[in-house]
A and B are shown apart, each in its own frame.
Chain A
Amino acid sequence: EAQVTQNPRYLITVTGKKLTVTCSQNMNHEYMSWYRQDPGLGLRQIYYSMNVEVTDKGDVPEGYKVSRKEKRNFPLILESPSPNQTSLYFCASSRTGSFNSPLHFGNGTRLTVT
């Protein structure tokens, strides 16, 4: 089944403890991206990647890191999480990077930083 898989689904952590949220797609998609969803703010793009070894900042990249060493994986790294990063996170992928093919989302990761 074609899908975008995020792990974990739920994560509770403490301020400053490094964490990684994994994202993997099995559709051979070139484009991958991360979003955070907060009440009243909709979805905001954190980082995106047009292809392997190519990553760029979205609208809210502060406090996050990403890497794209393989086509199928695009992990999101929080080196020193803070409470304002408590949010619902989504990974997404699409066949191309020009938004002319459907964007497919993972099921989300709900992160709480205390």
Chain B
Amino acid sequence: GIQVEQSPPDLILQEGANSTLRCNFSDSVNNLQWFHQNPWGQLINLFYIPSGTKQNGRLSATTVATERYSLLYISSSQTTDSGVYFCAVERGGKIIFGKGTRLHILP
């Protein structure tokens, strides 16, 4: 089946820094979404982004479907950005998640 790999697995940054999280997938996919799991365990949808670029405040995402990767950019990090970021793809009705990038933002 399709493989979804995220990098880096862990990232520690100072408040105010910028970061780029990567999601690679092994085969063509129909759609891709990014999620944030906060320290309390809640999963929040960030972006639906099958291709192109989208921005929402300090967060933006880019998907290059032909090269099978997506990037999530976080600018001017805040402590509330801490948590785990997941990408997920869909193939034939099934949804496959990557293992996530754990982000720690230090005050």
List 3 A-B pairs, minimum CB-CB distance, nearest first.
A99-B90, A99-B31, A105-B43
Which A residues lie at the B interface, using CB under 8 A? 33, 35, 40-45, 48, 50, 56, 58-59, 88, 90, 92, 97-105, 107-108
Q: How far is the CB of A27 from chain B (nearest CB, A)?
A: 13
A73 to B1 alpha-carbon distance, docked (Å): 29
The interface size of chain B toward A, counting residues with CB under 8 Å, comes to 24
Q: How far is the CB of B54 from chain A (nearest CB, A)?
A: 12
Contact A100 B48 (CB under 8 A): yes
Contact A33 B99 (CB under 8 A): no
* Chief secondary structure at chain B's binding surface: strand
With a cutoff of 8 Å between Cβ atoms, the chain A residues found around residue B11 in the complex are none
A-B contact pairs, 6 of them (CB 8 A): A41-B99, A56-B94, A59-B94, A103-B88, A103-B95, A105-B43
A88 to B94 alpha-carbon distance, docked (Å): 19
Contact A102 B93 (CB under 8 A): no
Contact B95 A42 (CB under 8 A): no
Q: How far is the CB of A93 from chain B (nearest CB, A)?
A: 11
